[in-house]
Amino acid sequence: MAPPRKIIKRQLEILVDYLEENKDISGGTPFSPVGLHAAKVKWTMVAKKLNAVENGAQKSPEGWKKYWFEWRHKCRKKAANIQQNQLNSSGSGQKIMLNEIELRALNINGNGCERIEPPVPSSKKLEIFLSEDSDSEHQLKIVEDQDQDTDEVKVPPKRRLTTENSTVTPPPEWAMDLEDRRIAAEERIAKALESIANMMQVQEGRRCIIEERIVETLTAIAGNLQGLNCGANQKNSLQHLQQTSHDQPETSSMKDVIFL
């Protein structure tokens, strides 16, 4: 048996692109039966796109949904560790080991990544220096940047995760565990709502079948009654004819007696 394929970068890009456009299914919040069905359709659509990627992993819609919540949680933990390391370190220009896809995944729901910015694609920075001798003249200085690894974001001193006036502390471990429990509870609620919706659909189907059978039974009864009525009418007509034919000879015989 071949080992399962790993999820490749292209699949993560497709998943993040899709969830950026459909944020209603990225939070794991409970749905109404109608919303639950719509979310199920959306996860089915994105699962088809992800499974169509060559050399990529193959998962069911429910499998991709579960992977998204687990991967997002890992990204949050990673960002929290980075914040903690930056708070404990006094050096500048530290490296954040979060790639662009992870940053985009964190920014979908805006949890724990308000101050993490994706890498700037430009290879040059434009710094404007105002001349002290003139109010209208500006001097532009182009500073060449060093090559940066596309998988790493270099954070300059001005782009720290903490500001001069406020201190951002990473969430404690118990908060992360509480988030895991919340997500698990929401998934259980979603499954329960899905079961209720399926049960309602089954009951609706049964009700339609029962109504159809009732209509068929009533139609058959009406047909039988109509047949019985027709039979009774025919029997009455036949008895009337017989009675008429029986009375007619007696009348003719009485006429013969009178004339005699």
Residue 185 is assigned to a structural domain of this protein: no
Residue 64 is assigned to a structural domain of this protein: yes
Residue 226 is assigned to a structural domain of this protein: no
Cα 112 from Cα 83, distance rounded (Å): 10
Does 148 score more than 80 pLDDT?
A: no
pLDDT at 147: 42
Residue 177 is assigned to a structural domain of this protein: no
pLDDT at 92: 54
149 to 12, 63, 109, 134, 175: CA distances (angstroms): 19, 32, 26, 40, 32
Domains: count for the chain: 1
Q: Is 32 helix (H, G, I), strand (E, B) or coil?
A: coil
pLDDT at 188: 82
Residue 200 is assigned to a structural domain of this protein: no
pLDDT at 70: 93
105 to 24, 35, 150, 250: CA distances (angstroms): 14, 23, 17, 109
Residue 62 is assigned to a structural domain of this protein: yes
Percent residues over pLDDT 70 in the chain: 65
Q: Which two tokens stand for residue 105?
A: 């995944």
CA end-to-end distance (rounded Å), the chain = 118
Cα 134 from Cα 137, distance rounded (Å): 6
Cα 1 from Cα 3, distance rounded (Å): 6
Q: Are 96 and 155 in contact (CB under 8 A)?
A: yes
Does 130 score more than 50 pLDDT?
A: no
For residue 123, the one-letter residue type is: S
Question: Tens digit of pLDDT for each residue in 22-50?
Answer: 988 888 765 677 788 888 999 999 999 99
Residue 202 is assigned to a structural domain of this protein: no
Does 150 score more than 50 pLDDT?
A: no
Does 63 score more than 90 pLDDT?
A: yes
Residue 208 is assigned to a structural domain of this protein: no
Q: Are 147 and 124 in contact (CB under 8 A)?
A: no
Q: Which of 8-12, 34-38, 81-85, 109-113 has the lowest mean pLDDT?
A: 109-113
Domain span holding position 92: 9-171
Sorting pLDDT into bands at 50, 70 and 90, what band is 164?
very low
